[in-house]
Structure 1
Amino acid sequence: MRLAKFFLFSVLMTGGLALAQSQVTIAALMKTTANPYWGAMEQGIRAGAQAGNVNLIVQSVASESDVEPQLNACLNLLQRNPQALVVAAINSVNLLPCLRQANQRNIPVVDLDANLDPAVLQRENIRIAFSISSDNRRAGASAAEYIVAKLGQNFRGKVLVIEGLAGNVTGAARRDGFIERLKQIAPNAQVVATLPGDWDRLKAANITNDVLQRHPDLAAIYCANDTMALGAVEALFAANRGGRVLVVGTDGNSDAIRSIRDGRLSASVAQFPFLVGQRAIENVLRVIRGQPVESRILVPTLVVDKATLEANRDPLLQYLR
């Protein structure tokens, strides 16, 4: 009996040691988690890590303009010897020295939210395991379709586009997708300005106010993220134009959802960052195990307005954070 108990204890201890030794360490580098979009993505990363028994190391930066601090944070994460590196780069070039080191050490790199430009990666001979995001160009197109559906197929009004940070491939894809689709389905609509809001709420509010001075008959605004959309909404209400100008954001973050419920923001193209983060971890674990993974993984989007929220029928709504 004692021998049997000793044997069972030995098996349990050996199994426990093997489990501890096999635990994977993954490093995740975010933009600022003060932005609800990146905060939700971090939640998804943590949920995926917990489900996969991952030893997770997460770092972020204070703002979306901290390009040098983000590079330093990336290099510091490599010193922790992770088995994979998941990054949400501020732009397509700021993390290149870190990614090159990761390649040299055969550490798989995951591009979160398609912030890395494939052309730049090819030119610099840097490899990534895969890129995961929603289809940003399609997200912009969906916003154009929503605006035209609300304002009519013969829509001839004036439209303002507030972009993200200049040089950011994500914001550029959303902007281009919106403008191209708007031209297709409402060729007489007028895009009166397309200006970089740097993902910033106050800057977007100032842009909106300035454009309203020149175009008081503005009909719609498309913003490449929700933070800027909320700034645009604030400027409209301050100018007594709230509710009379259609404003569509992108991301579907928690602040935007509250604003939509309150009848202030018209809609947001939800990108489901929680789902992006969760699936990033699920797929990088496959890479580590040597299993095949698509080089480009797309997460669905959904245009969310007050009617969508009140109906509460779409299964994707469960991933809103």
Structure 2
Amino acid sequence: MRNKNLAITTALALVLGMSAGARADEPTYGVLLKTLANPFWGAMSKGIAEGGKQSGVTIFQQAAQSDQDAETQLNLCNTMLERNPKALIAAAINSSNLLPCMSSANQSNIPVVDLDANLDPAITAKAGVKIAFRIGSDNTHAGAQAADFFAEHLGKSATGPVLVIEGLPGNVTGEMRASGFKDELAKVAPGLKVVASLPGDWDANKAANVTNDTLQRNPNLVGIFACNDTMALGAVESVFADGKGGKITVVGVDGTVDGVKSIKAGRLTATVAQLPYLEGIEAVANVKKVLAGQTVPSVIHVPTLVVTEAVLTAGTDPNLQYMK
């Protein structure tokens, strides 16, 4: 079944992954995402395709069916290298699964880009893998922004228990968001205490179960910070099912289409938008600079934006144009 799924995923990538209007004489960039089942990566994919158009390059995109299927992602990466792309832009599922493929890319003098800063620099350095540049939001800062919103929304003197729903264990992105939130919350609203910090595996159903269990132990819960919108939306469903909709502040990260819809519907309180569409455009543009021999920063941060119903209603923030 795994081989069948791999074949299906690869076939879909072959059909959908090439930039529209690509020419045979254009250089090809290989792009490996986690999964297109998550709206965040769907927006990233669109931004990368737009970046290909703007930079005049062909984009070949592939993705695993699940953001937990590390083995399939490695197989896709190895297959991608057989096309001899000019660059490999990869959003690894974890800090180690793609290291063999990235090492092979290094040996073939193919620049490797850490898309969305998913790799632990210490692990890549130990493995001898060279990264051309890392691009993504400052995930620690994104978590801190969520904490600042809690302090603003609930008040700096607010008290009560708070739940943190982490991502997949071992994933550096989720770890940075969670730690950024907890560290900042302790500074700006010390009366808000994190009573549980549990993995949600980027999954809405698991996040909903974590929320249910935490509400049973802490019926006076005042807030939930989830490390992505998918889990935040799962938490929201549990909160409303428990009859506490609107009474518990729920904040996610990503700024997905579904997250924004939930905010407009008065369910999700806020999201820290990561602007993956803009990140995709910038990733391709900076790869082109690298291949042209230009120097780019080793770490490129894309801005983040705290999105609330008020921000959406005002519609004046220039970064809103990149929310796809």
Q: Is the TM-score greater than 0.5?
A: yes
The answer to whether the Cα contact below 8 Å between 2:33 and 2:64 also exists between their aligned partners in 1 is yes
**How many angstroms apart in 2 are the aligned matches of 1:29 and 1:238?**
37
Aligned residue-pair number: 303
Paired residue for 1:11? none
The within-5 A match list for 1:6-155 is: 23-155=26-158
Is structure 2 residue 261 aligned with structure 1 residue 258? yes
Question: What is the root-mean-square deviation of aligned Cα atoms in Å?
Answer: 1.1
Is structure 2 residue 186 aligned with structure 1 residue 160? no
Select 2:177's aligned residue among 152, 174, 178.
174
- Percentage of matched positions with identical amino acids: 55
**How many angstroms apart in 1 are the aligned matches of 2:128 and 2:139?**
25
Structure 1: give runs of 5+ residues left out of the alignment: 1-18
Q: TM-score, normalization: structure 1? A: 0.93
The answer to whether the Cα contact below 8 Å between 2:23 and 2:58 also exists between their aligned partners in 1 is no
Q: 1:252/1:20 Cα in 2 relative to 1: closer, same or farther (>3 Å)? A: closer
Deviations 1:247-301 (A, max 9, x none): 0000000000000001100000000000111100000011111111111000000
Deviations 1:60-107 (A, max 9, x none): 011011000000000000000100000000000000000000000000
Give the 3-state SS of the residue equivalent to 1:218 in structure 2.
coil
Select 1:221's aligned residue among 224, 245, 268.
224
The answer to whether the Cα contact below 8 Å between 2:236 and 2:268 also exists between their aligned partners in 1 is yes
The answer to whether the Cα contact below 8 Å between 2:139 and 2:176 also exists between their aligned partners in 1 is yes
Give the 3-state SS of the residue equivalent to 2:175 in structure 1.
helix
Give the 3-state SS of the residue equivalent to 1:60 in structure 2.
strand
Q: TM-score, normalization: structure 2? A: 0.92
Shift of 1:22: 5.3
Runs of 4+ deviating beyond 4 Å:
19-22
Deviations 1:88-145 (A, max 9, x none): 0000000000000000000000101110110001111110100000100000000000
Deviations 1:166-211 (A, max 9, x none): 0000000000000000011112221110000000000000000110
**How many angstroms apart in 2 are the aligned matches of 1:170 and 1:143?**
15
The answer to whether the Cα contact below 8 Å between 2:159 and 2:192 also exists between their aligned partners in 1 is yes
Paired residue for 2:7? none
Paired residue for 1:16? none
The answer to whether the Cα contact below 8 Å between 2:271 and 2:307 also exists between their aligned partners in 1 is yes
Is structure 2 residue 282 aligned with structure 1 residue 279? yes
Letter of the aligned partner of 2:163 in structure 1?
Answer: L
